[in-house]
Structure 1
Amino acid sequence: MFDFLIHVVSIAFIYGILALSLNLQAGYMGLMNFGLVAIFGCGVYGAGLIHYFGFPVFLGLPLALVFAVAMALFFARLGRRLSSDYWGIATLSVAEIVRIFITNLEGLTGGAQGISGLPLLFADLRPWDGVARLLLFGGVLVLAWWLCERLVRSNFGLGMKLIREEPQLARSLGYDIDHIRSVVLVISALLAAVAGVLYAHYLSFVGPELLVAPETFLIWSMVIVGGIANNRGVVLGAIVMQFMMAYVPFVKDYFELPSDFVAAARLVLTGGVILAFLLLRPQGIFPERIGDRHEH
């Protein structure tokens, strides 16, 4: 049971980083990004490709960050040409195109079989390797939370919220909306790429099934449950949702249900939680804190 809890919390911490990444875009900028999984994929495949071609493992993170920045700038370019609603649909389409592209590039990405055998972090510390990974993921999550808090409480963060609420007013006050959106997308992409690298080395495997659309909506559910535009809340939302997902197999075993129940139940749970919170408590567990002091 101890190892299981370590595993669930470890995954929750990684998803917490992803939730913070999405929260910067959706919560503080009002960007409805439904393609975050594509940027996450830059992280997992950055680590995977380095291993696949036999390069030193430490090069995986820089490669992932380069991929993620390129994808973020591409999303930003799309945002200059499309309205917010169409941009959200476009990001979802791009993510699906990326997944199909990766699936069919067998010589480069391993195709549908993916890339296995990535080195496991702290494998030489057994039996405490799980705890070591948990501490690493927790440390990265705390750092990501601190950086997000510093950003949104700064004058730059004030500009983000103004653009979210009154874009025309922000433009009239001299804010460069396209530039600020690009900066936010790049920062959030860097966070998502780091989460992807950690996830790849945690699973020791990367494959296109990690990039399916339901993964993006799972991250959305974490943000909505915790409280959009509240960094503390979205981290809690990630932990709550991950524990709910982790205990679905126990429900299956208790009621002696077929194996395909797990995948279907997780999809229903994600959609049901999103719908329930949107209808009953759209502000989430921790609502956005209005009137926070901004650092100058």
Structure 2
Amino acid sequence: MFDFCLHVLTLACLYGLMALALNLQAGYAGLLNFGHIAFVGVGAYAVGIGRLAGWPLPLSMLAGVACAMLLGVAVARLGRNLASDYWGIATLAVAEIVRIVVLNQSGMAGGAQGISALPGPLDALPETAQPLAFAVLGLFAVALAAWLSARLAASRFGRALRLLREQPALASCLGYDLGRLKRSATLASAAVAALAGSLLAGYTHFVSPDYLLAAQTFLVWSMLMIGGAGRVAGVLLGTVLVQGVYSFVPLARDLLGLGSETVGALRLGLIGAILLLCLLWRSAGLLPERLRTLP
């Protein structure tokens, strides 16, 4: 049971990184990125392809961050002449293109079978100590990302992103380059998401096209909407709630004798019910963002 709790904690930390990365775009800047999981997948596949090429793990992780940021530049350029809703659809299409590309690259990306036996950042430790050590690493990573995200929110750049979200015309009149703000938010989000993807691949020692399914993006979106987009504490609370439901519901299979399909439907149904309740009674999330108002 202790190992299972460590596993849940580690996954919650990794998904917390993904949610904090999405919050940089959706929470602060109001950008509707429905292809966020593409950045995570790029980071994960960089570890896998780097292993096949014989690269050391740190170099593979840096390459994943760099490739994700290049993809972020391309995604940001798509948004220059598109309204926010159309840009969101375009990002979803980009993520699906990335998934199809790796699905059909049987040589370099392993195709539908993915890439297994990946190196982890803590492989030098004894096998019995790795779960606890990875949980500590995950906690450190998400705590650092949360601290940096909070500092960014309180900075001039963070205030500019909020102005872009609330009053883009006013932001433009004040001299802000809207395209540059969107690009900067997307690049920062891509870097954090790629780091989360590389850690996820190192933790599971495996990567496959399933990492790039659109359902993964909407799972992270659920974390933001339930907890409260734009606020670090809200994002982390939403991550804990959603990941808790996602991880502990399968225990009902043994306790209640349910089938695997029923458990999967129950898990998604509970997450959907929580999201629906929040949209009806707490539309801004359980811990909504605190905005200053003029007297």
| TM-score range normalised by the length of the shorter chain | over 0.9
Cα separation, 1, equivalents of 2:59 and 2:7: 26
Q: CA RMSD in A?
A: 1.4
Q: Is the deviation greater in 105-114 or in 272-281?
A: 272-281
Match of 2:197 in 1: 196
Is the CA contact (8 Å cut-off) linking 2:112 and 2:208 kept in structure 1? Answer: yes
Match of 2:46 in 1: 46
Sequence identity (%): 45
1:39-75, Cα deviation, whole Å (9 max, x unpaired): 1111101111101222222211111011110111111
Following superposition of structure 1 onto structure 2, how do residues 259-270 of structure 1 map, counting pairs within 5 Å? 259-270=260-271
Match of 2:277 in 1: 276
Q: Is the deviation greater in 283-292 or in 81-90?
A: 283-292
- TM-score, normalised with respect to structure 1: 0.95
Number of aligned residues: 292
Counterpart amino acid of residue 285 in structure 1 = L
Match of 1:108 in 2: 108
Counterpart amino acid of residue 2 in structure 2 = F
Match of 1:228 in 2: 229
Is the CA contact (8 Å cut-off) linking 1:221 and 1:273 kept in structure 2? Answer: no
- TM-score, normalised with respect to structure 2: 0.95
Cα separation, 2, equivalents of 1:219 and 1:103: 22
Cα separation, 1, equivalents of 2:260 and 2:224: 29
Match of 2:70 in 1: 70
Cα deviation for residue 252 of structure 1 reads: 2.3
Match of 2:132 in 1: 131
Match of 1:17 in 2: 17
Is the CA contact (8 Å cut-off) linking 2:245 and 2:271 kept in structure 1? Answer: no
Cα separation, 2, equivalents of 1:144 and 1:269: 28
Is the CA contact (8 Å cut-off) linking 1:28 and 1:229 kept in structure 2? Answer: yes
Cα separation, 1, equivalents of 2:266 and 2:117: 30
Cα deviation for residue 219 of structure 1 reads: 0.3
Stretches of structure 1 lacking an aligned partner (at least 5 in a row) = none
Cα deviation for residue 254 of structure 1 reads: 2.2
Match of 2:155 in 1: 154
